[in-house]
Amino acid sequence: MSVVIGTSDYPNGVIEGLKSAGANVKQIDALPLALEAGSPKAVNVVLMGAMANYMDIPYEVWTQAVRDTVPERFIELNLNAFNLGFNH
């Protein structure tokens, strides 16, 4: 979040370092998707949605977790953010 609000810079070489270590890296610019969902604070939920594609957990479990843990007034925003990441 500190990168999003401009108080720090994203470290250089992270993606390259992960790839050189053998990690399967999928790059995603989550900020524009979070903004599309309605808030830059939804970046982590966008990333969670993208990550969900690589885990053996049913989609419905993920979305129910959002419903169970997010304050009611932010559920729709967070579900939109999750889906934007999931479908990216």
**pLDDT band at residue 5 under the 50/70/90 scheme:** confident
Written as one letter, the residue type at 86 is F
pLDDT exceeds 80 at position 2: no
Q: What is the structure's pLDDT at 8?
A: 85
CA 81 and chain centroid, separation: 7
Rounded distance between C-alpha atoms, residue 29 and residue 43, angstroms: 9
Q: What is the pLDDT of residues 45-60, one digit of tens each?
A: 999 999 999 999 999 9
What is the token pair recorded at 7? 């108080």
Average pLDDT over every residue of 23-35: 93
By the 10 Å C-beta count (0-12 exposed, 13-18 middle, 19+ buried), 35 is classed as: middle
pLDDT exceeds 70 at position 1: no
By the 10 Å C-beta count (0-12 exposed, 13-18 middle, 19+ buried), 6 is classed as: exposed
